[in-house]
Structure 1
Amino acid sequence: MRLALTSVLLCGLLLAGCSLYRPTRVSLPVEPPGRYVEDSGAVAAAPVLDRWWQIFHDPQLDRLMERLFTGNLQLEQAFARLEQARAATRIAGGARWPSLGLGGQGSREKVPGFVQNAVVYNYRFSAQSSFEFDFWSKQKDRQRSAMQLAAASRSELQTLYLSLSAQLADLYYFVAEQRAQLRLAEETVASCRETLKLVERRYRQGLVPAAELYQARQSLAAAEAGRSTFARNLATAEHGIAVLLGDYPGRGVSGNLAELPAFREQFPTGLPADLLQRRPDIAARFHQLRSADAELAAAIADRLPTLNLAANYGFLQTDFGIGVITGNFWQLLIQPALPLLDGGRRRAEVARNRAVVRERLAGYRQAVLDAYREVEDALADNHSDEQRIERLAAMVDATAANLRLARKNYLYGIDDYLQVLSAQRNALQARSELLAARRQLISDRISLARALGGTWMDREISRRFAASGENDNHE
């Protein structure tokens, strides 16, 4: 018996940690390109800026970013999810170790006898331990799966940092554009009022018909309505910034930037081969794939034989009233098991996990392609908006000159008021479109920075863990 027990234990130690599953080989759908198609190549070799918003050289935006990283509640939720994933890793790892517990039992019972009834007291104290030999690395694979999910959770947190920083910067410059648009609308309202006074004076002198007076009033009303639209957009954008910062919606939280920066600096893209290391969403997909792969290995091992070892050691005391029995007791239990019939449940679980691995492998490859597409799209948008700004700037100059000429001709009676109204509308639209295009170029720069990813988020996570006194361990 001892020889058989010793043989079983030795086999368990030798086979423990032996897995029958070979991990899935992860490959890209195609090799990454040597350069971005839409990149001019002038700044491709330059290293990508890490804290990308610093390219705008705006201390006010820098302060808002710091508030975002400390106050945003979406980040708070993501940190809590990361802690849950790390706790799940520790739970899965605990299954690989023996369990040990203390137990006790006390009873008092009345037992009938030949002469008289007896009262029996029982006291039992023991330590129990159990352990499952991990022959096929099942528990190890489950722990590995949990570790990969924890790594995926951290990558998702990095993705959230990147996304929120882009949202804040986009709203920040949208607010600046709306302030500029509002100021332009107020200038237009003032201009329309001056024009209305001129038309009213000429109408009273009998120089123009009533139709021109009504047209001037209509133009003033339209300008005032446009001003209300920009004021509403400004308010809602500032509300959005306040909520991003973890505060109630309010006004003035975005600072006082009233002019859009004339930002024409090229954003360095780096090399395409570096994109996979800079995109945390791709890393999250990869870790999720590895987690599914480990779950598949555990599902395969679950169909194989298992061996459990249980031990119990303690002290027993029984008082029969006429005498007391005391002493130590022990128990060693070996439980081999082999699943035979389970209705195909384990086989189906293996098939399900294989399908999950295939799904996540395809999802990882798709994420890689989407990442490169996002960079190329952002580069194309940047080039297109740069050209559009140049054309709109020329249009602004032309429409302004046309408006001056139309007003002059109207004063001299050469043209009617419709010419002034049309020139005024075209000049306002051109200036408004130029403002929107300049802000769109900044937005496209932000989209490019977001598409290129980064490494700065990891330092922010570590800094937050250090500030809270928690351990930033990479499990």
Structure 2
Amino acid sequence: MNRVSVSSCALRSTWRRFANWTALAGVVFLGGCDLAPTYHPVKLAYPDNWEGSGVFRFGRPDEAAPRKDWWTVFNDPQLNALEDQVARLNPDLQAEAEAFMQARDIAMQARSQLFPQISGGAGGEKEKSSAHRLWRAEGSTTPLYMSSEQYYGSATWEPDFWSSIRNKTRMAKEATQQLAADYALARLSIQSEVASDYIALRGFDAQDAVYRDSIAYYQQAVSITQLRLAGAISPGMDVARAQTQFYATQARETDVRAARDVLEHAIAVLVNKAPASFHIAPVDSYPFAPVQLPVVLPSELLQRRPDIASAERSMAQANRAIGVSRAAFYPHVTFNAMTGFMDHGFDLASLSNSMYQFGAQAVLPIFTAGLRRAELQRTWSQYRQSEDKYRSTVLGAFREVEDNLTLTSRLRTETTQASEAVNAALRTQRMSMALYTGGLTNYLDVVVAQQAALEARIILVQVQARQSDAEVQLVRAYGGGWSTGELPASDSSIMPFSPLQYNELDRSKPLAGISVDPVAGATDLGSNPVPPKH
């Protein structure tokens, strides 16, 4: 009989251990159940090379893409200084950095739901009731005063059986990576905008120099016609034509100066300066020669364009959202516990005044009239939409590269042709003035020759500026010097602080080369000091 009892106890003990291990294995299994589809980025066919033949060269492996400071190929110290200022001071770029930091905080919030949420509280109250309240008999000894003091701690935890929380956390991390790519895109856009504006400004300088030279020449022509009129050699119409040409050219020069001033104001805002306190000294000739750029192969473009990286990270988030929608079809389990002390006085530490509560809850939606299915179908549609946008972004990138390769090639040829036109027009201008001075032709021929020479010189400067701008846009189409290797890793390094950190929470530490500097956000208005660090 004793042997039977021992065997029965051993059997029950073994069964309990088996049940415990089975439950533990079930929890581990369910905790690793990821309902998101296996993510495979879209496979795209791309050409082996570019059709356009622009201003580029094939470099060694370490020169296979533009450098981070790609603008230095233009060899202009003023442009280098502007690019340095815009990277540190541009307020729009700082706002993009703050958006990236906020995404890191959102990722931290999503991950926090994987851990138990613990809270504590304490309270007390004292209450006096009326001696003549309803239902209180006369002469009753029921107390009029009541008091209660308590303190407690509670904890809730949701085991992530269906990876809903983990997928939300991964989505938040991927959103952080997307915003890092968006920051790189904003930085590249602003850098290229500064370069384009500066090139256009130097183009206006060169045009202004051409107009000033032409105005001086036309002033001499006015003097010649006036002398010939005084000697009764030429009619007054020649003087009127010469003056028309002179004043019209002055008006065109004024228009160019106005356009230059407006462009200078735009550059001032980009480098976080007040336009009234910002000035770029003009030059007398166009300073940029054609540059040689390294080539980026089509197969490398997907890794070098921040907008493509952003679109791909958006697609990865949409894939995770499907897993979150699928998890809504399964039971939602929550564990909770609470313990503490309560007393009508202050004897709270007594074991007899202790209290506790614990439990588990599982909620399974039975009938929601298609709510969960609609959400699941919507997330699948969003994923396909993100695929379409990704393909569109890639095709747009290929088009931008081809466009600017073609432009750099065509504009180089056009620059040579425009230079020849200038030489021919200047020769015609000199010969026509010599013939007019010798009395062998009328002044109308001189005016036509002067207009042709001026237009040819202005066109040459404009073509040179367009060629330099096309080179800037080609570098931008290549993605500048950026690559996907600069994206933050999708791990705990994205989190802005540790779960037990309670200091230095006013700003996140730099990550992936992105930082928020309070000094960089100050606008130089010429007199206002930079606010101090807090």
Is the pair's TM-score, using the shorter chain for normalization, greater than 0.5?
yes
CA contact (8 A) 2:303 2:484 kept: no
Shift of 1:252: 5.3
> What amino acid maps onto 1:414 in structure 2?
L
CA contact (8 A) 1:317 1:326 kept: no
Q: What aligned pairs does 1:213-362 form with structure 2 within 5 A after superposition?
A: 213-250=239-276, 253-318=279-344, 326-362=352-388
Shift of 1:42: 6.9
Q: Deviations over 1:17-51 (max 9, x none)?
A: 31223234222332x22111113797135522212
Shift of 1:459: 11
From 125, 130, 133, give the equivalent of 2:156. 130
1:34 — aligned with what? 48
From 62, 77, 85, give the equivalent of 2:95. 77
Any idea what SS the aligned residue of 1:263 has? coil
1:428 — aligned with what? 454
RMSD: 2.8
TM-score (norm 2): 0.82
2:215 — aligned with what? 189
Any idea what SS the aligned residue of 1:171 has? helix
CA contact (8 A) 1:65 1:168 kept: yes
Cα separation, 2, equivalents of 1:42 and 1:240: 30
2:12 — aligned with what? none
Distance change in 2, residues 1:459/1:413 (3 Å)? farther
Shift of 1:325: 9.5
From 388, 393, 401, give the equivalent of 2:419. 393
Residue 117 (1) aligns with residue 134 (2): no
Cα separation, 1, equivalents of 2:42 and 2:84: 38
Distance change in 2, residues 1:171/1:461 (3 Å)? farther
From 100, 105, 119, give the equivalent of 2:123. 105
CA contact (8 A) 2:32 2:163 kept: yes
Q: Deviations over 1:307-364 (max 9, x none)?
A: 11011111121359xxx99421211111011011223222211111111111111111
Distance change in 2, residues 1:453/1:106 (3 Å)? same
Shift of 1:256: 4.5
From 51, 57, 61, give the equivalent of 1:43. 57
Distance change in 2, residues 1:414/1:199 (3 Å)? same
Any idea what SS the aligned residue of 2:233 has? coil
Any idea what SS the aligned residue of 1:103 has? strand
CA contact (8 A) 1:170 1:446 kept: yes
Q: What aligned pairs does 1:84-99 form with structure 2 within 5 A after superposition?
A: 84-99=102-117
CA contact (8 A) 2:339 2:357 kept: yes
> What amino acid maps onto 2:33 in structure 1?
C
Distance change in 2, residues 1:455/1:214 (3 Å)? closer
Residue 167 (1) aligns with residue 193 (2): yes
1:446 — aligned with what? 472
Cα separation, 1, equivalents of 2:98 and 2:81: 25
Distance change in 2, residues 1:41/1:168 (3 Å)? closer
Shift of 1:201: 1.5
Cα separation, 2, equivalents of 1:6 and 1:232: 82
Q: Deviations over 1:237-278 (max 9, x none)?
A: 110110000111147533544432352232111322111111
Q: What aligned pairs does 1:150-165 form with structure 2 within 5 A after superposition?
A: 150-165=176-191
1:178 — aligned with what? 204
Any idea what SS the aligned residue of 1:27 has? coil
Cα separation, 2, equivalents of 1:188 and 1:252: 29
Shift of 1:406: 0.4
Shift of 1:399: 0.6
Cα separation, 1, equivalents of 2:233 and 2:55: 62
Identity %, equivalent residues:
25
* Unmatched tracts of structure 1, length 5 or more: none
CA contact (8 A) 1:318 1:326 kept: no
Shift of 1:298: 0.5
From 461, 466, 472, give the equivalent of 2:510. 472
Any idea what SS the aligned residue of 1:25 has? coil
Deviates more, 1:371-380 or 1:206-215: 206-215
Cα separation, 1, equivalents of 2:469 and 2:388: 31
CA contact (8 A) 1:313 1:329 kept: yes
Cα separation, 2, equivalents of 1:311 and 1:108: 27
Any idea what SS the aligned residue of 2:469 has? helix
Distance change in 2, residues 1:470/1:316 (3 Å)? closer
> What amino acid maps onto 2:58 in structure 1?
A
Cα separation, 1, equivalents of 2:454 and 2:376: 66
Cα separation, 1, equivalents of 2:28 and 2:324: 19
CA contact (8 A) 2:171 2:321 kept: yes
* Unmatched tracts of structure 2, length 5 or more: 1-14, 130-135, 489-495, 497-505, 515-534
Q: Deviations over 1:48-106 (max 9, x none)?
A: 22121111122221111111111101111101111111111011111111100002232
CA contact (8 A) 2:428 2:449 kept: yes
Cα separation, 2, equivalents of 1:27 and 1:460: 21
Cα separation, 2, equivalents of 1:458 and 1:279: 8
Distance change in 2, residues 1:316/1:10 (3 Å)? farther
Distance change in 2, residues 1:180/1:42 (3 Å)? closer
TM-score (norm 1): 0.91
Distance change in 2, residues 1:285/1:257 (3 Å)? farther
CA contact (8 A) 2:205 2:286 kept: no
Q: Deviations over 1:133-184 (max 9, x none)?
A: 1111000011111111111001000001111111111111211111111111
CA contact (8 A) 1:45 1:270 kept: no
Distance change in 2, residues 1:470/1:83 (3 Å)? closer
Deviates more, 1:436-445 or 1:265-274: 265-274
CA contact (8 A) 1:235 1:251 kept: no
> What amino acid maps onto 1:358 in structure 2?
R
CA contact (8 A) 2:167 2:324 kept: yes
Q: What aligned pairs does 1:17-28 form with structure 2 within 5 A after superposition?
A: 17-28=32-43
Cα separation, 2, equivalents of 1:107 and 1:9: 44
Cα separation, 2, equivalents of 1:460 and 1:149: 15
Q: What aligned pairs does 1:398-417 form with structure 2 within 5 A after superposition?
A: 398-417=424-443
Cα separation, 2, equivalents of 1:35 and 1:393: 32
